Structure 1
């Protein structure tokens, strides 16, 4: 075997290379040369450029993300934490659940359908790679102004892509949210989450160990989609005649992914796999370098053996391709034949492309020449680490001083009623059934709760009724007003949503969406949000198991609102004791749990009625959040409540409308003495929920709340066919239904 390409790189140090076009800074390129002791080959340059990118290396965020490890709470449930494809938690009875949230923001703006579809496909493969069977997906989404023409281009494509891919996989979509704000106009946020279940002994990790073990690439053939800037690396001479018009966004095939899932799980069941890695961002560059660097030796790869669907691809393009539905497995030689037979059974293309070596190098060959000779750790783990400058922006004080509590309030009961209808019919508070109706919630038959419930819930054991719940939340408006508090409010809301359904919160995954890290104001927002989330998770006892950072979400100089999306996973021993949001039983009493304060900064009311963003977000009391969660979980388990709904966007009136419409029953609400009806209805104070208590359970419920010190105020009763705020106004459910349900279809018609 000759060493012509690597040797040529050694002998020609002065050849110009397109490092800048590939996104490397000059000092980064010089660092690559220093590591190698020579200039990189074209293939090596391609690998370093993508693996050292912001998306793959977290080079601007690492210094802050380490807080999730440094401040991690002690957790008996955590089985696999940060650093693997997805986190894994123990949910009891020998079951482990893996979950993760990631972003596919930029591709979804360029090509909404495929961008969103392949976002679902990628997160599902992360779950498979842990050894789990995927059981559900969730999708937190953010779009520009609802009435903007481009939203009508992006949103239907994204929703269709999510539904099309997930429905074909047979995975229920059980949660997420859809938010509209002009700040996301040029940068929609398409975050995708997935959950998988396995037995403890079935957990798999991404590592290549055992000299002589074979590296098998299986799944779809490799094409030219998703290469991006690497397509200019056509050859050492960068031939301008080389075909380069390749799709920038990956193209997904959910039917191929379904075969990949079944094939992989059967191989796991027969104990054929030593290590495994899905091919997502950076394709083979990532899979080979990460498997090798996490293992005990090196790796040798024959790139000629990679099955292609485009014979014109250069080796650099093969290494960079992000073609979907592909995975890499490390298999002992004696088990290769059986592994390949399983792949053939499922009609999955599989090829041995290399083997684990007893050295410490990643060596890749093409047409008999060595084109890559690197220490894999330098590619996968030893990229640049930046301590970007950050500073509280000069405008932050003025933003917080612009107090939303001073905005003009309704002058009388008629105006209060009109503003309620204005709120519940606004795009963010209106029903999202036009969107969620395109997703299959109940495929597989184990969905217990799905949108618009507070959290999605899935049964994972039919005999014992063991289940898990997941909620995703984030409020960019709150986080812009105060990034530290905003991140904790996202955590608190997701935690509260899980508890409201009766599940005990266990762990967190996150998707951190921010603007350019080169802007000190954005980096301050990022640093503060990380600090807030890490401190909050420590106090709540919910470790961060992994997640994703998405930066450069901005158009020109205008960044999106800082948007940390937090996913909380919880466990429920018996899904038959779950609590829905619906007010379904007349005569049940409505209790408001928690304290209501005059907190309107960043509220839905301030946005809808006044188009205003300013002041401070609601205060966070994490001890109160934990107490509220304990009450909600206990009340659910012991049959003391028949419905529960957290209070968040839109405050009490929004929660009442949703619970009443969901159950088809009205409510009579009495405003407590000395309480401003406007504040009661529209405040967004955290740490609150409403519950429906059967009269037979009222004494027991009050005793529990009183003994634990949680404020519980009886504010009404489920009754009739309207929401009657006594002494103020009433609105028939029929009128609320029209206002709530017709907004989104009308906008997108």
Structure 2
């Protein structure tokens, strides 16, 4: 680790002296891109983060959002903790956070992904919340590459192992394969927690004289320099040379920490809290006191350690997992220690909150003495050049429709992800009403009689083609997923992933995804309440696509939702409608960013999106229609286009006999990926048309059958297949990895 010359000059000017080795290392990590957002913070003001529902927005360990109050709101006993989480009639809150663990997952896919889960769960704990759901969005190189499959299998195993062991269900997410992730995969994990206004804790130190207490696993030498490692391009030898920077997780200790944290919050023993993540104890403790405008005095030798002869710098910066830093009133320290001992967790009183500087001593010698605010906020922001991305040429393939159907439906990007989510326990906690594999998951928040819909993901093909419009489309697609379950978007968090920002074309693409995501979320009145930025996702293979993962939640009364698959009905009793397809109105189909073009090496412009007014009205109307009793099934249309959505709706019990309106561009009609579209099976088609009048076009495609067959007619061609054949096509990942 080494502090950049320009940063070194600023530190010397502020301190009036040379920094100590521990101070230099602390500044190098906390002023890294990973911690200080030096290249991205100037862009993030584009996001609207306020709203009546927002209790705590960006800047804390996790955001806090109030759920809509319900007339039937009641109390509920949490199945895992036996704790009454809303017994005092306080308003119910959820917490939302998202984290990236990209570089660590390349070096060590199992531990890198596992500790990503552990970190975002501890962010949830530090707000006084109990974790109730996880969503993971994963991005790898081309599926037919052995190294991609190695990383994919390791990451999924790491996530499933950690999440299953701690008893938090993984209910949503996405998996994408793209050649530009070959040298740098992405692992983005979101967590939703549950709390209320009486239990809320923040990461802002409250009062000088309070003690700083470290609870959890002992500190070792793992993860040293992790924040710095995450802020540089991956080198060719990263898998071996950077392994010491990857943390090692212990989910069983995390489970104990979850339950201990719940007890501490129940008894009101915590004044403020911060989990130990990037930059370890130095990062957590300095950020905690800086946020409160205070300082700290820490004695590093008091930290409980698992390795001998650790230096001050190692104790300060190690990113050993499953640790929390608490601010505790001196009168409550003994009780905190008792609870830690009950859960077999280490506990050390490492110092106290002070009025002034952040100081650390080690065996009587002062090794750090700096202003906490300068340490956390003093890093200068980068003013980087930016280039607008070039628009793609139009080079359309002339593919046989039947062959194109098979290729797109069986692509790893659009194929079933059952191989992934069957490894996750998505029902633990008995809150999951709709699990993975649907447009959005639904978690039952019985405390507020509310169904919480969760959707998470991005679309690298879209944002490679058009960073700004692709990011707008990602926000609209996640909102459409939520609306398809009858829920209304409430809030979102984002994980903004990009390559080396010092390259003007890369920074231009990154700027585009920030602005696109921000604009569509504002259009949908969905505040972006928190997030994470991960840059320098660049390697010898080149930069990743600009990747704006969005994790969005929505709410509805109750926990039931229309299914994705069509339901069997008597002939003529239901109709299948396509809503929102703008291209069918104009017969102008753009295929840019589609899986069809990815399969056949074509290029095109990105499809037109609904206007701002159309997008907002469409999402609201779809949520209302999906919740109507005459609606039998709903499925959003996006990745893979209409053919994939139709194939996913067919089951052994019910098929579809559909016909696309006569158009000049048959491939365009079937495979374009304009978001904001949905298929609706209804026994009251006129009511659906009336609901979408002046909102979005509605086209009748056909009706259900009782033989599990998909008969798709477009122009003079008919594609016929059945549920068994579709399952075989969509089993690409399972067949390869089972």
TM-score, structure 1 as length reference: 0.90
Q: Is 1:391 paired with 2:382?
A: no
Describe the shift of the 1:120–1:73 C-alpha distance in structure 2 as closer, same or farther (beyond 3 A).
closer
How far apart, CA to CA, are the structure 1 residues paired with 2:466 and 2:243?
42
SS at match of 1:585: coil
Paired residue for 1:740? Answer: 730
Describe the shift of the 1:621–1:246 C-alpha distance in structure 2 as closer, same or farther (beyond 3 A).
closer
Q: Is 1:640 paired with 2:619?
A: no
Alignment map for 1:283-682 (pairs within 5 Å): 283-357=280-354, 359-393=355-389, 396-397=390-391, 400=392, 402-404=393-395, 407-410=396-399, 415-461=400-446, 465-556=449-540, 558-576=542-560, 578-587=561-570, 588-597=574-583, 598-608=589-599, 610-661=600-651, 664-674=653-663, 676-682=665-671
Equivalent residues, number? 694
Describe the shift of the 1:230–1:203 C-alpha distance in structure 2 as closer, same or farther (beyond 3 A).
closer
How far apart, CA to CA, are the structure 2 residues paired with 1:562 and 1:584?
39
Greater mean deviation of Cα atoms: 330-339 or 475-484:
475-484
Q: Is 1:699 paired with 2:686?
A: yes
SS at match of 1:126: helix
- The offset of 1:594, in angstroms, is 1.0
Greater mean deviation of Cα atoms: 127-136 or 474-483:
474-483
Contact between 1:105 and 1:191, CA under 8 Å: does it hold in 2? yes
**Which whole-Å deviations, capped at 9, do the CAs of 1:163-200 have from their partners, x for residues lacking one?**
00000011111111111111100101111111001112
Paired residue for 1:9? Answer: none
How far apart, CA to CA, are the structure 2 residues paired with 1:600 and 1:190?
28
How far apart, CA to CA, are the structure 1 residues paired with 2:204 and 2:276?
14
Contact between 1:230 and 1:316, CA under 8 Å: does it hold in 2? no
How far apart, CA to CA, are the structure 1 residues paired with 2:302 and 2:544?
43
How far apart, CA to CA, are the structure 1 residues paired with 2:10 and 2:412?
49
Aligned partner of 2:701 among 706, 715, 723: 715
How far apart, CA to CA, are the structure 2 residues paired with 1:231 and 1:292?
22
- The offset of 1:66, in angstroms, is 2.2
Q: Is 1:92 paired with 2:83?
A: no
How far apart, CA to CA, are the structure 2 residues paired with 1:229 and 1:512?
19
Contact between 2:30 and 2:227, CA under 8 Å: does it hold in 1? no
How far apart, CA to CA, are the structure 1 residues paired with 2:690 and 2:665?
27
Contact between 1:482 and 1:617, CA under 8 Å: does it hold in 2? no
How far apart, CA to CA, are the structure 2 residues paired with 1:385 and 1:732?
57
How far apart, CA to CA, are the structure 1 residues paired with 2:551 and 2:152?
22
Q: Is 1:197 paired with 2:194?
A: yes
**Which whole-Å deviations, capped at 9, do the CAs of 1:147-173 have from their partners, x for residues lacking one?**
101012211110100000000011111
Paired residue for 1:147? Answer: 144
Contact between 2:513 and 2:547, CA under 8 Å: does it hold in 1? no
**Which whole-Å deviations, capped at 9, do the CAs of 1:476-530 have from their partners, x for residues lacking one?**
2221222111111111111111111111101110011110011011111112221
SS at match of 2:297: strand
Give the gaps of 5 or more residues in structure 1: 1-20, 233-243
How far apart, CA to CA, are the structure 1 residues paired with 2:301 and 2:44?
38
- The offset of 1:246, in angstroms, is 7.6
What is the alpha-carbon root mean square deviation over aligned residues? 1.9
**Which whole-Å deviations, capped at 9, do the CAs of 1:346-383 have from their partners, x for residues lacking one?**
111111100112x3201111001111111001111221
Q: Is 1:725 paired with 2:722?
A: no
Paired residue for 1:61? Answer: 40
- The offset of 1:628, in angstroms, is 1.8
Q: Is 1:46 paired with 2:32?
A: no
SS at match of 1:435: helix
**Which whole-Å deviations, capped at 9, do the CAs of 1:268-325 have from their partners, x for residues lacking one?**
1111111100001111111111111012432110101000001222110111100000
**Which whole-Å deviations, capped at 9, do the CAs of 1:209-228 have from their partners, x for residues lacking one?**
21211000000000110104
Describe the shift of the 1:231–1:744 C-alpha distance in structure 2 as closer, same or farther (beyond 3 A).
closer
Q: Is 1:225 paired with 2:222?
A: yes
How far apart, CA to CA, are the structure 2 residues paired with 1:570 and 1:315?
46
